[in-house]
Amino acid sequence: MDKNKDLAEFCEGVDKLTGKKKLMVDLSTWISSDRVDIYWRQNTNRYPSYTPAARPAPDLLIDGAKELYAVCVVQADDSSEQLRKTMRKAVDIWERMVENPPNYDQELSKDNPSAVLVATGQSRNGHLFSGTKNREHPEIFRR
Amino acid sequence: MADKDILPQPEFAATQEIIRSAWGFAKDRTESDEIGIGALLSSRLATKEDTQNESSDPAALYYTPGSLHVHHWESIPWFLWND
């Protein structure tokens, strides 16, 4: 794992990315900070990578100072079915992790993830589905 | 159902439905008091006011079946909401 990525390497070609890879860059840029590290499953020259313990594996690991999250990313702009498939994949990964903890060999703040999460391009807005599809409107709870 | 600091103030309807479905599947399969299942959302859900025009911080909403406190609603990093 190489965390010393050159800024020029990181920026090169970012504007040409499309699809899931662009979404992963956008999410990683949003989430990462001086207290939060991001690790990609794929070995790229943009972010440090982690070694998957089994397949299927989460797309990202978020190491947030005390909590570690395994994240399955899906570009679900056009199809809610893709999101549902990814949620099922996340449950499968979660079940496997519960029965056989991944024990990543990187130096992370926790040995095992606190949770397996699903993320989309709408996560930043507080939801998963796109636009007004799928009855995606906010509901305020009264207490 | 929504309790302060355990679940967000508002939730989007379809998102809420799919997250609760995943929680149900997970609960039927096995239990864990260490690893949860949920979604990456944002601080936009931290208040009842509509904050869509403000920048948002990442947050995790997840459920850990088998844990004493099964629902978790946490900022990333965890200390952003602890001031």
Q: H helices within A18-108, ranges in order?
A: 19-31, 80-99
pLDDT value, residue B2: 37
Nearest to A35 among B7, B50, B77 (CB): B77
pLDDT at B3: 42
Closest CA to A119 of A81, A46, A78, A69: A69
Predicted TM-score of the model (pTM): 0.88
The residue of B4, B5, B15, B56 whose CB has the most chain A CBs within 10 angstroms, and thus the best one to mutate to test that interface, is B15
Contact of B69 with chain A, judged by CB distance below 8 Å, is answered with no
Express each pLDDT in A101-136 by its tens digit.
Answer: 998 877 888 889 999 999 999 999 999 998 665 567
**What was the ipTM of the complex prediction?**
0.90
Q: Which of residues 26-65 of B touch A (CB under 8 A)?
A: 26, 29-32, 34-45, 48, 50, 52, 56, 58, 60, 62, 64
Smallest CA–CA distance from A117 into chain B, residue: B39
List the domain boundaries for chain B. Answer: 13-78
Question: Looking at chain A, which residue has its C-alpha nearest residue B24?
Answer: A91
Q: State the Cα–Cα distance between residues A132 and B24, nearest whole angstrom.
A: 25
Identify whether the C-beta of residue B60 lies closer than 8 Å to the C-beta of residue B7: no
